[in-house]
Structure 1
Amino acid sequence: MAIFIRFNNIFSKLLKLALDYNACAYSIFACIFLTFAYVASLYVWRTELSRDHPSTIKRRFFSVSCIMFLAPFFMRFFLKEETLNRGDVFQQLGLRLPGLIAASITSLILTAILFLGPLTMQFLSGTWKIYTEPTYWVSSWKDLTWVRNHFMAPLSEEWVFRACMMPLLLQCLEPFTAVFVGPLLFGIAHFHHIFEKRKAGFDLKTALIVSTFQFTYTSLFGAYSAYLFLRTGHFVAPLAAHMFCNHMGFPDFLEIRYYPSMERLAIISNFVLGFILWCCLLTPMTNPYIFDNRLHWET
């Protein structure tokens, strides 16, 4: 009898491991599928027009919106009951009210600190004055390319790659591991720009180099974005950071040489200072208790 009980316990443990393995495999498969579905939605339309043509942008807005609508249902299908016991679907997606304002402000402050160098360059060049002009914002919202880069791209990417994928990855990966695995899919998704570069006349080698560079920095940003989502428990946190980063663009380090010597010193100092402050403040400023994040508070 004792042997039977022991055998039954071992069998139960093996069965649980097998089920956990399958659940993990299904979760990762679901994330990979969402990645391909997102990229495929951009190319479902046959056209010879460039990606910046209004017709192309409008069509892609529609197809990406469809993926955004379907992604949460797809995610829900693969969520385990024990995951849902920790928080309902809306909480898993980062859609909740407690800590919403704090998550938005904290995300913007942290990202602005990281971009202290580029912000200093904008201040010294007088670019900041443009933001006080109402006509700038009116004309920007009339520009479909601007709307795509500053609004639709961050919204759709954060919704699919963070809100819908992170809960799936957290079912089978440690939080720290999930923070870096998910962004790899986010970075890989940007390799589709190879086709855009080739279409624009770039040779294969140049297109590959540019896309590899995009993969690198989008993966790094994706890790930061995933960390914000995990720590705050809010979708708005990575969304705000993404919009800010897309607005600033990748820092143009070569532009520093065109500033006077004292201004160059100030810019370089703020690049270094911003990065150091960001590293020091990232963990304490995203303490889950600040945002009443009970879903992933242990992280």
Structure 2
Amino acid sequence: MALKEVIDQNTCLFSITACITLTFCYVASLYVWRSKLSRDHPSTIKRRFFSVFCVMLLAPFLTQYFLTEETINRGDMYEQLGLRSSGLIIAIVAPLFLTAILFLGPLTMHVISGSWKLYAEPLYWVSSWQDLMWVRNHFMAPLSEEWVFRACMMPLLLQCLEPLTAVFMGPLLFGIAHFHHMLERMRSGCDFQTALMISTFQFTYTSLFGAYSAYLFARTGHFAAPLVAHMFCNHMGFPNFAEVGQYPPLQRVLIICSFLLGFTLWCMLLTRLTSPDIYDNRLHWET
């Protein structure tokens, strides 16, 4: 019996194994270079850009190999990866708008503090693109993570699991992949307990974001949808709730109300703004 036939008969086992393999390859690519330099050193960043880019090139071939014939018949490889032209514009705008609503509180803080004016300065963008750490955090990390963990993994999981199950299972690997930062924190002098606490917290919120991102991918059928959401979230960072107390009372009330309103509206609009019909998605999430 050919290996491909065996894979078709044991779809879930091979799909999950392939996803674990992709996770291992992604994390391992960050450590193939032997160096004592920190992760933020320009040399380290450039080397990791190259190795992660190699993983991005190889990942679709692994995905294609483990996709069953039935899955391929439902949509070609480009569609499976979320590379579609139909509904692309709305797949960029709607998820970005939805994610911005979720961050209504932090955005309100930006408006009150006046920091939003910085984005209107051309020099800000010029200097940002010259900063390798900025490029890594705002561009390369979202691009590579969404490509490997969403575009290449989700089709494998969706071919053998219910959509909601796949949405919550895949992000666990995404969250676990961030545990490698624990080693880097310990190397920089952080004790084990502190490094573990920080990494556990990071695992929690990256897994939650991963579920949201996977949901966007499955519902819209577009790679662009989770990508723009990821870029926006990385730019905003995790909300600094402690900073709210530094504002005057009236502004503090306004900010707290913005946090609550943003979360409420996000919950109300999540299914509406991600309806597969809007994006002409008949592949990953049937209505």
Give the TM-score range, shorter chain: over 0.9
CA deviations on 1:86-109 (whole Å, 9 max, x unpaired) are 100000000010000000000110
Q: Write out aligned runs for 1:40-55 (5 A).
A: 40-55=28-43
Which of 122, 127, 144 in structure 1 is aligned with 2:115?
127
- Aligned position for 1:148: 136
Percentage of identical aligned residues: 73
Residue 211 (structure 1) aligned with residue 216 (structure 2):
no
Deviation at 1:294, TM superposition (A): 1.6
Q: Given that residues 289 and 297 in structure 1 are in contact (C-alpha distance below 8 angstroms), is that contact kept between their aligned partners in structure 2?
A: no
Q: Write out aligned runs for 1:197-276 (5 A).
A: 197-276=185-264
Q: Write out aligned runs for 1:124-203 (5 A).
A: 124-203=112-191
Letter in 2 for 1:186: F
List alignment gaps of at least 5 residues for structure 1: 1-17
Give the TM-score normalised by structure 2. 0.97
Aligned-partner SS, 1:28: helix
Distance 2:79 2:185 in 1: 39
Deviation at 1:296, TM superposition (A): 2.5
Kindly report structure 1 stretches of 4+ aligned residues shifted beyond 2 Å. 18-21
> Would you say how many aligned residue pairs link Structure 1 and Structure 2?
282
Deviation at 1:208, TM superposition (A): 0.3
Distance 2:65 2:163 in 1: 21
Distance 2:189 2:216 in 1: 38
Distance 2:282 2:22 in 1: 27
Aligned-partner SS, 2:21: helix
Q: Given that residues 100 and 236 in structure 1 are in contact (C-alpha distance below 8 angstroms), is that contact kept between their aligned partners in structure 2?
A: yes
- Aligned position for 1:6: none
CA RMSD, aligned part only?
1.0
Q: 1:166 to 1:82 in 2, by over 3 A?
A: same
Letter in 2 for 1:258: Q
Give the TM-score normalised by structure 1. 0.93
- Computing the radius of gyration from Cα coordinates, the structure with the larger value is 1
Aligned-partner SS, 1:293: coil
List alignment gaps of at least 5 residues for structure 2: 1-5
Letter in 2 for 1:137: W
Q: Given that residues 217 and 226 in structure 2 are in contact (C-alpha distance below 8 angstroms), is that contact kept between their aligned partners in structure 1?
A: yes
Distance 2:7 2:22 in 1: 22
Q: Write out aligned runs for 1:1-40 (5 A).
A: 22-40=10-28
Aligned-partner SS, 1:234: coil
Q: 1:264 to 1:248 in 2, by over 3 A?
A: same
Distance 2:267 2:67 in 1: 33
